[in-house]
């Protein structure tokens, strides 16, 4: 008796070799096999009398062989077998190339179902059709699955294996969806779903099947995330009481936007609710998320808690530090910048504030002091990169963890940082405007505040997607911008030959050198790339920010953070190599000051698809719209990264299209869990088990 976990070799016709090949497709068990969903389908249901055939159509024809097949050799060493088939309405040529055996396997007077594409305008023929004797149809007259294949596995073989797999599993599939959920959302039974997703009885049956399976997948995902969350709700968070935020607001050089205010209020509501906050603050580039974090940090400090702020790059950490430490100093907080890359220490003083910058080599003493300050609780805020996660960084009274640009950190890293304290409040800032569908999934265990409003005075960045022929004009334009006192970013992607990673330093340096010597000998061009020492990078950024350089050539290190309001122009070379969301991030580097800003996307030989993609950028400045477009064009892979998120992958639900279904699944999960919060009721046993299975390699274990 087979089980879902039985190895696929159980199936007749699958031996060692094929099992190995199937493994490459991620198929090892029977469950994997039947969950290997078709990539597409071929509709072989259309059956026509011969008289009604039209050229180019894929059809089934029921016809009788009317002549003994003949075989001939043709030039090129090939054989051709010909015969003729008839029905009540007409006759048709049947032709096979290199299938000599057909000569003896087709018999005059027998009726077959042929399937193929009709060729020939006047005299119709079917070339190399599929055929089956009437009455024993498996491959014709129905909608057939088409699977993605790998070497050693043919379409027919896999189709047959799945057929057998389905037969073997029929009695075994537990319906994890509770009956009432299934009924309420008009979902079909599990066996029907599996059967029809592979071998649909009709297009409607396929839709039903797919819907059921996608729903189930999203439902399981939501249940899993909700269980993770509810476990968190059992613990209490760092205790906070309400304090007036007025001193904070009045220390700011501007008034917060309504959206910022709302996000701050959401967060404070969480922190005073007794359990640990787990909130995502999502807002487009420049929407002012840093100030939301600052408000929370200040609030935590008022309640006697330390905060840690983790940024994905050193430059960004530094910038946060430079924004926050004067503000906090005005508000009487002590602040430490902790960025250590190779264990090098550099100490920098600001009035009234103890600031430490921890990097690589020297001054172990200062680093020790900062660590001591954190452990003793005398440092209120610690800003840094993922270095904040290392073992020797201990906090005396860590109450709030803020991670910026969260999509670059995985769920796992987020979890690692939160381990630095019992159950700290967590605030996640996401600069990439992830489409709502994805946010719900990736951040399904988080509450979300959306900052859907930019600070006043922001203007649209005019964007142009241009080909190589425009380069002289672009250069003239850049020169004009600089002459008007503005600055320019030029971003080059790493262009390699696919296998070897290009030498980033060489490529960018050579580009900048050429630009300086040949194009802009009279302007000041500087270079920034990821291989530079942190100190060098910082120097280049400072020089540029101070206006002592006109053009900054860089790799994507400028993507996040940096704030240079005087920069009005962002040029992206080989723009086709970037995702739209990334381009949007890059574009966000300009348009931060008063002056009109521009973004120029260059690509050498833009394909139709590239043109279409880049056009989106010229059309809108709305990050959410852009990421939605990205999702449609490139699929969710880009957002998810290499499973870095630590969540189960989706096999059938399509986040670009299944928004409505996701919402349905989420509301169903919410309702079910409101009745049985830990799925402990016996009838929910299969569901709980399946959720556990799916989440077994997630950072937090499900037990
Ligand atoms: P992001 O959401 O991309 O992290 P930042 O927090 O870096 O955005 O803010 C972008 C810029 O807008 C900063 O220079 C910041 O000082 C400024 N800013 C933030 N909030 C406001 C506001 N309410 N009014 C005016 N300027 C603001
Ligand atoms: Mg930011």
- DSSP per position, 597-618: -EEEEE-SS--HHHHHHHHHHH
Ligand 1: atom nearest CA of 260 is: 23
Ligand 1: atom nearest CA of 256 is: 23
Q: Give me the mean pLDDT over the 522-534 stretch.
A: 87
Q: Is 563 in the pocket of ligand 1 (CB under 6 A)?
A: yes
Report the nearest-CA residue for atom 16 of ligand 1: 288
Pairing label, strands 425-430, 525-528 = unpaired
Q: Is 399 in the pocket of ligand 1 (CB under 6 A)?
A: no
Report the nearest-CA residue for atom 15 of ligand 1: 288
Q: Give me the mean pLDDT over the 109-130 stretch.
A: 90
Contact 49, 86 (CB under 8 A): no
The alpha carbon of residue 233 and the mean position of all alpha carbons in its chain are separated, in whole angstroms, by: 28
Ligand at shortest distance from the CA of 285: 1
Ligand 1: atom nearest CA of 588 is: 3
Which of 258, 259, 290 is the pocket-test mutation for ligand 1 (most atoms within 8 Å of CB)?
290
Confidence band for 501, pLDDT divided at 50, 70 and 90: low
Q: Is 257 in the pocket of ligand 1 (CB under 6 A)?
A: yes
How does pLDDT run across 285-317, given as a tens digit for each residue?
788 999 999 999 999 988 989 898 888 777 778
Query: Can you tell me whether residue 143 is helix, strand or coil?
Result: strand
Which of 455, 545, 594 is the pocket-test mutation for ligand 1 (most atoms within 8 Å of CB)?
455
Ligand 1: atom nearest CA of 563 is: 14
Task: Say what percent of the chain tops pLDDT 70.
Answer: 84
pLDDT score recorded for residue 502:
59
Ligand at shortest distance from the CA of 312: 2
Number of residues in the chain: 703
Report the nearest-CA residue for atom 10 of ligand 1: 286
Which of 257, 263, 288 is the pocket-test mutation for ligand 1 (most atoms within 8 Å of CB)?
288
Confidence band for 177, pLDDT divided at 50, 70 and 90: very high
Report the nearest-CA residue for atom 17 of ligand 1: 288
pLDDT score recorded for residue 503:
65
Does the pLDDT value for residue 494 go beyond 90? no
Least confident among 204-213, 324-333, 556-565: 556-565
Compute, in angstroms, the gap from residue 386 CA to the centroid of ligand 2.
16
Which of 259, 260, 282, 286 is the pocket-test mutation for ligand 1 (most atoms within 8 Å of CB)?
286
Q: Is 288 in the pocket of ligand 1 (CB under 6 A)?
A: yes
What does DSSP assign to residue 515? I
Confidence band for 559, pLDDT divided at 50, 70 and 90: low
Residue 473 to residues 29, 599, 600, 676, Cα–Cα distance (Å): 60, 14, 11, 66
Q: Is 254 in the pocket of ligand 1 (CB under 6 A)?
A: yes
Tokens representing 253 are 């050089």
Ligand 1: atom nearest CA of 319 is: 7
Compute, in angstroms, the gap from residue 286 CA to the centroid of ligand 2.
7
pLDDT score recorded for residue 360:
42
Ligand at shortest distance from the CA of 256: 1
Confidence band for 359, pLDDT divided at 50, 70 and 90: very low
Ligand 1: atom nearest CA of 292 is: 6
Pairing label, strands 381-384, 335-338 = parallel
How does pLDDT run across 234-270, given as a tens digit for each residue?
778 899 999 999 989 988 989 999 999 999 999 999 9
Q: Give me the mean pLDDT over the 567-593 stretch.
A: 88
User: What backbone phi and psi angles, to 5 degrees, belong to 646?
Assistant: 75, 15
Does the pLDDT value for residue 422 go beyond 90? no
Does the pLDDT value for residue 516 go beyond 90? yes
Ligand 1: atom nearest CA of 255 is: 23
Q: Is 193 in the pocket of ligand 1 (CB under 6 A)?
A: no
Tokens representing 423 are 């159950």
Confidence band for 582, pLDDT divided at 50, 70 and 90: confident
Query: Who wins on pLDDT, 149 or 648?
Result: 149
Contact 346, 321 (CB under 8 A): no
**Residue where the block lists tokens 């505040």:** 449
Query: Who wins on pLDDT, 500 or 659?
Result: 659
pLDDT score recorded for residue 640:
47
Task: Say what percent of the chain tops pLDDT 90.
Answer: 38
Does the pLDDT value for residue 349 go beyond 80? no
pLDDT score recorded for residue 355:
37
Report the nearest-CA residue for atom 25 of ligand 1: 455
Torsional class of 641: left (φ above 0), alpha (ψ -120 to 50), beta (otherwise)? left
Confidence band for 400, pLDDT divided at 50, 70 and 90: very high
Q: Give me the mean pLDDT over the 195-214 stretch.
A: 95
Q: Give me the mean pLDDT over the 634-643 stretch.
A: 50
pLDDT score recorded for residue 499:
47
Q: Is 623 in the pocket of ligand 1 (CB under 6 A)?
A: no
Q: pTM for this one?
A: 0.67
Compute, in angstroms, the gap from residue 370 CA to the centroid of ligand 1.
29
Can you tell me the distance from the alpha carbon of 208 to that of 189, in angstroms, rounded to the nearest whole number?
10
Compute, in angstroms, the gap from residue 158 CA to the centroid of ligand 1.
55
pLDDT score recorded for residue 100:
87
pLDDT score recorded for residue 498:
45
Q: Is 291 in the pocket of ligand 1 (CB under 6 A)?
A: yes
Q: Is 289 in the pocket of ligand 1 (CB under 6 A)?
A: yes
Query: Who wins on pLDDT, 331 or 400?
Result: 400
Ligand at shortest distance from the CA of 322: 1
Q: Is 593 in the pocket of ligand 1 (CB under 6 A)?
A: no
Can you tell me the distance from the alpha carbon of 532 to that of 487, in angstroms, rounded to the nearest whole number?
22
pLDDT score recorded for residue 693:
84
Q: Is 294 in the pocket of ligand 1 (CB under 6 A)?
A: no
Q: Give me the mean pLDDT over the 178-183 stretch.
A: 94
Q: Give me the mean pLDDT over the 169-175 stretch.
A: 88
Neighbour-count burial for 422-434, b at 16+ CB within 10 Å, e otherwise:
ebbbbbbbbbbbb
Q: Give me the mean pLDDT over the 535-540 stretch.
A: 83
Of the candidates 140, 126, 148, which has an alpha carbon nearest to the alpha carbon of residue 38? 148
User: What backbone phi and psi angles, to 5 degrees, belong to 189?
Assistant: -70, 155
Ligand at shortest distance from the CA of 313: 2
Q: Is 565 in the pocket of ligand 1 (CB under 6 A)?
A: no
Least confident among 42-56, 415-429, 586-600: 415-429
């Amino acid at each position: 008796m087979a089980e879902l976990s039985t190895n696929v070799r159980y199936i007749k016709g699958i031996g060692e070799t094929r099992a190995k090949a199937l493994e490459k497709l991620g198929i090892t068990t029977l469950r994997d096999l039947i969950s290997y969903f078709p990539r597409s389908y071929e509709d072989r249901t259309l059956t026509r009398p011969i008289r009604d055939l039209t050229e180019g159509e894929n059809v089934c024809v029921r016809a009788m062989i009317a002549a003994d097949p003949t075989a001939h050799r043709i030039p090129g060493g090939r054989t051709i077998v010909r015969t003729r088939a008839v029905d009540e309405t007409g006759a048709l040529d049947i032709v096979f190339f290199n299938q000599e055996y057909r000569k003896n396997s087709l018999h005059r007077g027998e009726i077959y179902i042929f399937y193929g594409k009709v060729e020939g305008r006047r005299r119709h023929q079917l070339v190399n059709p599929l055929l089956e004797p009437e009455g024993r149809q498996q491959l014709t007259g129905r909608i057939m699955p088409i699977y993605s294949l790998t070497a050693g596995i043919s379409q027919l073989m896999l189709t047959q294996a799945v057929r057998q797999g389905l037969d073997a599993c029929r009695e075994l599939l537990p319906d994890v969806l509770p009956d009432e959920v299934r009924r309420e959302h008009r979902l079909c039974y599990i066996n029907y779903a599996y059967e029809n997703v592979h071998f649909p009885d009709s297009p409607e049956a396929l839709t039903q099947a797919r819907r059921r399976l996608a729903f189930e997948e999203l439902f399981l995902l939501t249940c899993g995330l909700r269980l993770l969350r509810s476990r968190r709700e059992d613990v209490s968070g760092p205790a906070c009481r309400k304090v007036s935020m007025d001193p904070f607001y009045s220390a700011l050089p501007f008034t917060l936007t309504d959206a910022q205010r709302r996000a701050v209020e959401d967060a404070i509501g969480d922190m005073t609710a007794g359990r640990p906050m787990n909130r995502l603050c999502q807002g487009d580039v420049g929407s002012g998320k840093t100030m939301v974090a600052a408000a929370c940090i200040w609030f935590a400090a008022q309640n006697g808690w330390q905060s840690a702020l983790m940024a994905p790059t050193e430059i960004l950490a530094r910038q946060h530090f430079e924004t926050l430490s004067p503000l906090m100093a005005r508000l009487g907080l002590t602040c430490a910048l902790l960025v250590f890359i190779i264990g090098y220490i550099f100490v920098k003083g600001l009035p009234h504030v103890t600031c430490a910058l921890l990097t690589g080599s020297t001054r172990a003493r200062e680093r020790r002091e900062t660590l001591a300050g954190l452990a003793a609780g005398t440092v209120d805020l610690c800003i840094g990169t993922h270095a904040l996660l290392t073992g020797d960084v201990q906090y005396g009274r860590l109450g709030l963890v803020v991670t910026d640009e969260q999509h670059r950190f995985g769920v796992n890293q987020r979890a690692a940082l939160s381990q630095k304290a019992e159950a700290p409040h967590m605030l996640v800032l996401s600069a990439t405007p992830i489409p709502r569908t994805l946010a719900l999934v990736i951040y399904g265990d988080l509450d979300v505040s959306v900052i859907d409003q930019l600070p006043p005075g922001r203007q649209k960045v005019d964007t142009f997607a241009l080909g190589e022929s425009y380069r002289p004009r672009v250069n003239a334009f850049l020169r004009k911008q600089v002459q008007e006192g503005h600055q320019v970013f030029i971003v080059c992607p790493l262009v390699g030959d696919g296998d070897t990673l290009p030498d980033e330093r060489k490529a960018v340096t050579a580009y900048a050198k050429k630009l300086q010597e040949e194009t802009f000998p009279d302007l000041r061009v500087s270079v920034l790339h990821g291989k530079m020492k942190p100190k060098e990078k910082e120097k280049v950024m400072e020089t540029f920010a101070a206006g002592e350089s006109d053009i900054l050539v860089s790799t994507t290190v400028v993507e996040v953070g940096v704030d240079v309001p005087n920069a009005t122009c962002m040029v992206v070379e080989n723009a086709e190599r970037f995702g739209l969301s990334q381009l949007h991030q890059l574009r966000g580097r300009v348009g931060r000051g008063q002056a009109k800003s521009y973004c120029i996307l260059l690509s050498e030989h833009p394909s139709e698809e590239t043109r279409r993609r880049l056009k989106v950028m010229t059309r809108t400045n709305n990050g959410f719209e852009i990421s939605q477009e990205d999702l449609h064009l490139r699929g969710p892979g880009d957002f998810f990264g290499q499973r870095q998120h630590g969540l189960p992958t989706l096999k059938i639900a399509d986040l670009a299209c299944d928004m409505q279904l996701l919402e349905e699944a989420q509301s169903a999960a919410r309702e079910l869990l409101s009745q049985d919060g830990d799925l402990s009721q016996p009838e929910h046993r299969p569901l709980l088990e399946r959720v556990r299975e799916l989440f077994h390699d997630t950072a937090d274990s499900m037990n």
